[in-house]
Amino acid sequence: MAFSFFGGVHPEENKWYACDKQTQIYPSPDIVVIPMSQHIGAPCKPLVKKGDLVTMGQKIGDNQGLCVPVHASVSGKVKAVEARAHTSGTTVLSVVIENDHQDTLCPDIRKRTQEQVDALTAQEMVDIIHEAGIVGMGGATFPTHVKLSGAIGKVDTVIINAGECEPYITADDRLCQEEPEKLIAGLKLIMKILGLKEGHIAIEDNKPQAVRMLKANLAASDGIHVDVLPAKYPQGAEKQLIYAVTGREVPSGGLPAAVGCAVFNAATCKAIYDAVYDGMPLIRRIVTVSGDVLMEPKNLLVPIGTSFNDLIDACGHSEYPYKVLSGGPMMGVAQYDLNVPTIKGVNAITVLGRRNAYAVEDSRCLRCGKCIEVCPMKLMPVLMYKSIQSNSVEEMKANNIMDCIECGCCAYTCPASVPLVLGFRVAKQLIRNEAAKEKAKA
């Protein structure tokens, strides 16, 4: 039974631009830029220097603590190790590789037979996933091996998030249509690690072909259920998805494990298959390049480190883009430099024309309450924004700003075009900075 979570909106989907476009392999570019920070946690330290020769899949960065390694997505020569523009809007230490177009595979990469995979223990698989540099590929980029390790013995339900509720984005839809057997095999690996006999694949009902392909590749003995949910944004948000599938509510400040659940993105699940069966680290991913000014929107299988500029040029555009987002229009981050590289968490590049210019110079709250009606976290955005204007960290905390998932429902529905999500992101950083200062004093 599917449950409907509180709030949410139904933005124009605009998935028709790319939903029927089969994934194309994007040719490796002449230059790739591999940032040392592509995940939540400590950035990697470079393991190579300028002039070094590297092979495809070779580990080129790693660190201790909450960290996963990064790998070369092409073979060639290290041109530089320097700060480069990043999708976050900052500059990040990156390894710049000049592609030799030989695709020389790292000798450490070896495929495993089904018998070898069956013989692996849960910890061995977690270690393989760690070494492969796998993170949450829906945008969160939390290290997957940490999430798996923390869920062992604590969860009874695993959910693969194939909802993909953001407008324009169709990368996971294409993955489910084109490689359902690998996604399902990846889920079985997760179930083995967690010691579970049943698993769920949650997908919205606006992807009928993907649903059909997933069901066609399942056997009754697999113990896997395809949960088809009514399309509603933000269905793909972790807490909302858990409620929609199980009816369980994750408490404020709590993690999914608190209600016995673990959620993994569909692309992450496929990456786990690639790592365990093929020995292949996370060096490429499907990216939807879509938008109203593109001449030929596409789903592209892209080497990590490929610039946004290259991918946009591959699609062509009828007018100069007004705004380019890393991600979709609801939660995506606007880019100031199109030379930023595609990283592990980038599932889409959304290219919009000037007709999407909705900025208001002097936006003021009308106190209409529409933001409260649509907030899926049951928060009070109007009061949260008021606390930001007062610049009171204590007031921000009292209004539970840290519970905001930055889905954009409030900003989408606001008739005054108040930049609510931007304000909440700034406020959350202020709270984190304040907590860091207090910790330093102690």
- pLDDT the model gives residue 17: 97
Both 33 and 100 in one domain: the answer is: yes
Of 355, 384, 412, the position where a domain reaches its end is 355
Residues 93 and 45 in one domain: yes
Q: Are residues 415 and 326 in the same domain?
A: no
Q: Tell which of 278, 293, 327 closes a domain.
A: 278
Contact 245, 227 (CB under 8 A): yes
pLDDT score of 2: 65
Q: What is the residue-averaged pLDDT of the chain?
A: 95
Domain termination residue (choose one: 244, 278, 312): 278
323 and 336, same domain (yes or no) = yes
Residue 1 has pLDDT above 60, yes or no: no
132 part of a folded domain: yes
Give CA–CA dist 114/285, Å, rounded. Answer: 24
Confidence (pLDDT) at 147: 96
Mark whether 227 and 303 lie in a shared domain. Answer: no
- The pLDDT tens digits for 4-63 are 899 999 999 999 999 999 999 999 999 999 999 999 999 999 999 999 999 999 999 999
Both 126 and 222 in one domain: the answer is: yes
Band of the pLDDT at 435, cuts 50, 70, 90? Answer: confident
The enclosing domain of 50 has a CATH number of 3.10.20.600
Residue count (the chain): 442
**For residue 139, what pLDDT band results from cuts at 50, 70 and 90?**
confident
What does the pLDDT look like over 301-360, one tens digit per residue?
999 999 999 999 999 998 889 999 999 999 999 999 999 999 999 999 999 998 877 666
Q: How confident is the model at residue 3 (pLDDT cuts 50, 70, 90)?
A: confident
Task: Tell me whether residue 30 is in a domain.
Answer: yes
pLDDT number for residue 202: 97
> Could you tell me if residue 376 is inside a domain?
yes
Is a pLDDT exceeding 70 seen at residue 156? yes
Cβ pair 427, 387 in contact under 8 A: yes
For the chain, how many structural domains are there in total?
3
What does 46-113 look like in DSSP terms, one character per residue?
ES--TT-EE-BT-EEEE-SSS---EE-SS-EEEEEEEEEE-TTSSEEEEEEEEE-S--PBPTT-----
Q: Is the pLDDT of residue 441 over 90?
A: no
Mean pLDDT confidence for 156-179: 97
Q: What is the pLDDT of residues 279-289, one digit of tens each?
A: 999 999 999 99
Say whether both 185 and 261 belong to one domain.
Answer: yes
Q: What is the pLDDT of residue 359?
A: 67
User: Where in the sequence is the domain holding 237, given as residue range(s)?
Assistant: 111-278
On whether both 340 and 379 belong to a single domain, the answer is no
- Does 219 map to a domain? yes
Gap between the Cα atoms of 58 and 108, Å rounded: 8
Cα separation, 416 vs 213, whole angstroms:
43
In a shared domain, residues 125 and 190: yes
Nearest-CA neighbor of 165 among 269, 226, 267, 236? 236
Percent of the chain whose predicted confidence (pLDDT) is above 90:
89
CB 292 within 8 A of CB 20: no
| Mean predicted confidence (pLDDT) in 94-112 | 97
Examine residue 346 and state whether it is found in any structural domain, yes or no. yes
- Burial label for 3, CB within 10 Å (0-12, 13-18, 19+), is middle
Cα-flanking dihedrals φ and ψ of residue 312, to 5°?
A: -65, -40
What is the band of 391 on the pLDDT scale with cuts at 50, 70, 90?
confident
Q: pLDDT per residue over 75-100, tens digit each?
A: 999 999 999 999 999 999 999 999 99
β-pair type (298-303, 24-25): parallel
Tell me, yes or no, whether 332 and 384 share the same domain. Answer: no
pTM reported for the whole predicted model: 0.95
- Whole-angstrom Cα distance, residue 269 to residue 376? 26
Residue 39 pLDDT: 96
Mark whether 128 and 256 lie in a shared domain.
yes
In a domain, 16, yes or no: no
Same domain, 121 and 56: no
The pLDDT of residue 436: 86
Judge whether 2 lies within some domain. Answer: no
HSE at residue 15, side-chain half, CA atoms within 13 A, is 19
Q: Write the single-letter amino acid at 35.
A: P
At residue 400, the pLDDT reads 94
